């Protein structure tokens, strides 16, 4: 299907009035790119905001603030476009007179660009690069739309229909967690707690590797719903339970393995609570840690009574396998 991509260039101050114009035209979905948001992000006001950001994202703080909407290429869509043009022109007239905070041009260019796009250009293109792949000794990640025939009885195949927003499970932090899970889940009695489970891929991996019971905890309700759908897709609804929550707050549950693929500062906070959720001879797996933060995380988990048994590093990321020292169990 073809759409009209309508992009309106403005300023931070112009976002609200421009969005008001879109809403009045019956358009409730749109994308906002505000360069001030990116500037605030890169200022990193809290140590736990982020550990790593792709350098290409830093270019976004130099963009011109804009709002993008997609209209159907139809008589209705063209009528909406005409209404938007008229109202934005009216807004520009007021702005040129200093009607907003007595500042002329406060709302920026208020320029509108329009081009025709086809949803095939973005909807399924990424799928061409998501193919079945063996990511550990026993785990294969397979997109739900691809056929895959296993010739190894040890293989465990994870079916995933992630959507572009939730990734394909092949990031080094995820893969390293799965490798460590393979080594920990030595019996079907194992219970696993997956803190910050995201799309549920580690919870699913634990279930396929033989865990008797898995609890995935995710703070984002939308991600939690995707995780439940992926669990069902893999036929693990009776083993894997996904619930919404903030780390382990309010959780009264113990596991043989606690796994957290999050980020360094949150893992440091979480490590204080993990001993209370570990069964005897249990393990704590952490991942999502950049190399520069590894020593800080290791020191933090050791202060909580853990021995670090193994550390994996790949592409600048690190994961660790830990166990409580004798006498340090809650």
Q: What is the per-residue pLDDT across 38-94, written as a single tens digit (0 to 9) for each?
A: 666 656 665 555 555 556 666 666 789 999 999 989 999 999 999 999 999 999 999
How many helical (H) and strand (E) elements, i.e. helices and strands, does the chain have?
A: 8, 14
User: Considering the domain 166-324 in this protein, what is its CATH number?
Assistant: 3.40.50.150
Taking Cα atoms as reference points, which of 117, 111, 119 lies closest to residue 66?
111
Cα separation of 91 and 20, whole Å? Answer: 11
* DSSP string over 105-130: TTT---EEEEEEEEGGGTSSGGGGG-
| Mean pLDDT of the residues in the chain | 87
Burial of 318 (0-12, 13-18, 19+ CB in 10 A): buried
Q: Compare 76 and 325 and report the one with higher pLDDT.
A: 76
Beta bridge mates, 159: 142
Q: Which of 137, 307, 299 is nearest to 205 (CA)?
A: 137
pLDDT in tens, 236-280: 999 999 999 999 999 999 999 999 998 898 999 999 999 999 999
At 226 the pLDDT is 86
Report helix, strand or coil for 329: coil
Any idea where the domains of the chain sit in the sequence? 2-121, 166-324
Question: Is it the case that residue 186 has pLDDT exceeding 70?
Answer: no
User: How confident is the model over 207-232, as a mean pLDDT?
Assistant: 92
Higher pLDDT, 170 or 51: 170
pLDDT number for residue 165: 38
Beta strands in 94-205 (DSSP E): 111-118, 133-134, 139-143, 156-160, 191-195
Which pTM does this prediction carry?
0.67
Residues 137 and 84: their CA atoms lie apart, in Å, by 56
Q: Give me the mean pLDDT over the 312-330 stretch.
A: 83
Give the number of other Cβ atoms within 10 Å of residue 151's Cβ.
5
Within 10 angstroms of residue 42's Cβ, the number of other Cβ atoms is 14
Looking at the predicted structure, is the pLDDT value of residue 206 above 80?
yes
pLDDT, residue 274, reads 96
Per-residue pLDDT tens for 17-27? 999 999 999 89
Mean pLDDT of 166-176: 80
Give the list of residues 6+ apart from residue 20 with CB closer than 8 angstroms, or none. none
Length of the chain: 330
pLDDT of 301 > 60? The answer is yes
For 176-204, what is the mean pLDDT? 89
pLDDT at 310: 96
Mean pLDDT to the nearest integer, 311-329: 85
CATH code of 2-121, in short, is 3.30.70.260
Could you report the per-residue pLDDT of 111-161, keeping only the tens digit for each? 999 999 886 665 565 566 677 888 898 999 988 888 888 888 889 999 887
pLDDT > 90 in the chain, percent:
60
Q: Which helix H or strand E contains 270, and what residues bound it?
A: helix 264-270
Identify the band that residue 164 occupies on the pLDDT scale cut at 50, 70 and 90.
very low
Strand order of the sheet with strand 66-72? 31-33, 66-72, 2-9, 111-118
In the predicted structure, residue 198 carries a pLDDT above the cut 60: yes
């Amino acid at each position: 299907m073809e759409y009209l991509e309508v992009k309106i260039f403005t300023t931070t101050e112009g976002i609200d009035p421009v969005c008001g114009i879109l809403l009045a035209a019956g358009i409730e979905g749109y994308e906002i790119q505000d360069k001030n948001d990116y500037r605030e992000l890169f200022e990193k006001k809290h140590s736990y905001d982020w550990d790593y950001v792709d350098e290409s994202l830093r270019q976004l703080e130099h963009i011109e603030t804009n709002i993008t909407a997609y209209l159907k290429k139809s008589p209705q869509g063209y009528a909406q476009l005409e209404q938007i043009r008229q109202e934005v022109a009216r807004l520009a007239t007021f702005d040129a007179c200093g009607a907003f905070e007595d500042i002329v041009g406060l709302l920026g260019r208020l320029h509108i660009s329009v081009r025709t796009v086809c949803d095939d250009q973005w909807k399924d293109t990424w799928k061409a690069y998501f193919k079945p792949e063996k990511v550990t000794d026993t785990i294969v990640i397979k997109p739900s739309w691809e056929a895959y025939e296993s010739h190894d009885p040890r293989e465990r195949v994870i079916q995933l229909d992630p959507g572009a927003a939730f990734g394909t499970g092949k990031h080094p932090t995820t893969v390293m967690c799965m490798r460590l899970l393979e080594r920990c889940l030595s019996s079907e009695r194992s219970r696993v707690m997956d803190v910050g489970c995201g799309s549920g891929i580690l919870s699913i991996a634990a279930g396929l590797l033989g865990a008797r019971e898995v609890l995935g905890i995710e703070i984002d309700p939308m991600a939690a719903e995707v995780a439940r759908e992926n669990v069902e897709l893999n036929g693990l609804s009776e083993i894997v339970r996904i619930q919404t929550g903030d780390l382990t707050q309010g959780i009264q549950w113990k596991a043989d393995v606690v796994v957290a693929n999050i980020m360094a500062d949150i893992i440091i906070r979480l490590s204080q609570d993990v001993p209370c959720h570990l069964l005897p001879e249990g393990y704590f797996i952490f991942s999502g840690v950049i190399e520069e933060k590894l020593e800080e995380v290791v020191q933090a988990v050791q202060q909580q009574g853990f021995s670090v048994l193994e550390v994996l590093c790949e592409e600048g990321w690190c994961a660790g396998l830990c166990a409580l020292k004798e006498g340090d169990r809650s």
